[in-house]
Chains A and B, each alone.
Chain A
Amino acid sequence: MNGASLSSFFAMGGYAVYVWPAYGVFIIVLLMDWLAPQFRRRRVLREVRSRMARQDGRKARASAPASLEEEGRGEGLRLP
């Protein structure tokens, strides 16, 4: 394709103002439709991970005093 025919292609016989925005809307809207769930997916998985981390933290805190007590008892047993 040479320069002249390329520019006449973009001119669309005087209808460029109608044809190209139509194709632009088509591409942009579908691109947005494609990207939106990808971002949502990343957010959902991050939330799942942070909830898991919180639950792990709670479990660790819940078991920590018990283990200390056990240590204390262990020492107590050893003392006499």
Chain B
Amino acid sequence: MANWIPLWLHKLSSPPVFYRFAGSLRPWAITLAVLLGVIALYGGLVLAPSDYQQGNDYRIIFIHVPCAWMSLFIYGVMGVAAFIALVWRIKLAEVIAMASAPIGAAFTFITLVTGSLWGERMWGTWWTWDARLTSELVLLFLYLGVIALYHSFEDRRQGARTAAFLALIGIINVPIVHFSVNWWNTLHQGSTIRLLGPSTIATSMLWPLLTMMAATKLYYIASLFGRARVDLLTLESGKDWVRQIAQNEVRG
């Protein structure tokens, strides 16, 4: 078995190495994210035809659905990082888990607001306590709970481990959000995009959606790396490598 992979991962988990690695990748990720985002917006707002039932209102889908996917995906990443942080006590895993929470909360918030704007016209209500909407709201509260718990400890690492525990318990909610439209009779429509079997959406609407999905994924990488870098600087503020960066910054 190739043992350079664990070796590389072990090296990468060292704070200064990850700081440099993330710093070199971040500009590429954000540039590509903005580029793909603009293409997706053009495709979704201009090129895609209006829906035969929903007119132009359906165009909210091009941000609502990618953000909803991200809200679940980021929770998954946070859960895995939290697990690693609790079992192996790796500092970088704690940082990744805690840096993911605010980004996930942002995407969940966007999902709820855009869904509400969409629902007002299509369902005639801003909000209803239906399974999909309620479980997505619970997801937002889980994110906010993780953030609050993390900041309620004087010792950041202890706070991170306690919050990681909450993040791990809350992962039960992820499949509930995903399958809520199948398990319960809800007002929310089922998925139109399927990994298995044909999707029930026109190609002219599908490609902006998938492009936006790629853009949000890349944005998450860029934002996560930015936040993780600052968290590492904070955690290691007494160390030499941080002092060097602080001094270089004032010159540059």
Which residues of A pack against B, CB within 8 Å?
A: 9, 12-15, 18-19, 21-23, 25-26, 29-30, 32-34, 36-38, 40-41, 44-45, 47-49, 51-52
Which residues of B pack against A, CB within 8 Å?
A: 30, 41, 45-46, 50, 55-57, 59-60, 63-64, 67, 102-103, 106, 109-110, 113-114, 117-118, 120-121, 219, 223, 226-227, 229-230, 233-234, 237, 242-243, 245-247, 249-250
Point out the residues of chain A lying under 8 angstroms from B45, CB to CB.
9, 23
Complex CA distance for A9 and B44, rounded to whole angstroms: 12
Contact B246 A52 (CB under 8 A): yes
Contact B113 A12 (CB under 8 A): no
Complex CA distance for A44 and B117, rounded to whole angstroms: 38
Complex CA distance for A29 and B105, rounded to whole angstroms: 10
A/B interface sample: 22 pairs, CB < 8 A: A13-B55, A14-B55, A15-B56, A18-B60, A18-B118, A18-B121, A19-B57, A22-B113, A25-B110, A26-B63, A26-B114, A33-B102, A33-B106, A37-B230, A38-B226, A44-B234, A44-B237, A45-B246, A47-B237, A48-B242, A48-B243, A52-B246
Contact A22 B117 (CB under 8 A): yes
Contact of A15 among B30, B55, B245 (CB under 8 A): B55
Contacts A25-B114, A48-B242; is A18 near B237 (CB within 8 Å)? no
Complex CA distance for A30 and B249, rounded to whole angstroms: 26
Point out the residues of chain A lying under 8 angstroms from B55, CB to CB.
13-15
How far apart are B57's CB and chain A's nearest CB, in angstroms? 4
Contact A12 B46 (CB under 8 A): no
Contacts A25-B113, A26-B67, A30-B106; is A19 near B59 (CB within 8 Å)? yes
Contact B246 A22 (CB under 8 A): no
Complex CA distance for A51 and B249, rounded to whole angstroms: 15
Complex CA distance for A40 and B227, rounded to whole angstroms: 9
Please list the 8 inter-chain residue pairs (A to B) with the smallest Cβ-Cβ separation, ordered nearest first.
Answer: A13-B56, A48-B246, A15-B57, A22-B114, A12-B56, A41-B230, A33-B106, A26-B63
Given contacts A9-B45, A26-B63, A37-B223, 7 further A-B contacts (CB under 8 A): A21-B117, A22-B64, A25-B113, A25-B114, A44-B237, A49-B246, A49-B247
How far apart are B108's CB and chain A's nearest CB, in angstroms? 10
Residue of A nearest to B46 (CB): A9
Complex CA distance for A23 and B113, rounded to whole angstroms: 10
Point out the residues of chain B lying under 8 angstroms from A21, CB to CB.
117
Complex CA distance for A9 and B46, rounded to whole angstroms: 8
Point out the residues of chain A lying under 8 angstroms from B246, CB to CB.
45, 48-49, 52
Contact A19 B230 (CB under 8 A): no
Point out the residues of chain A lying under 8 angstroms from B226, CB to CB.
34, 37-38, 41
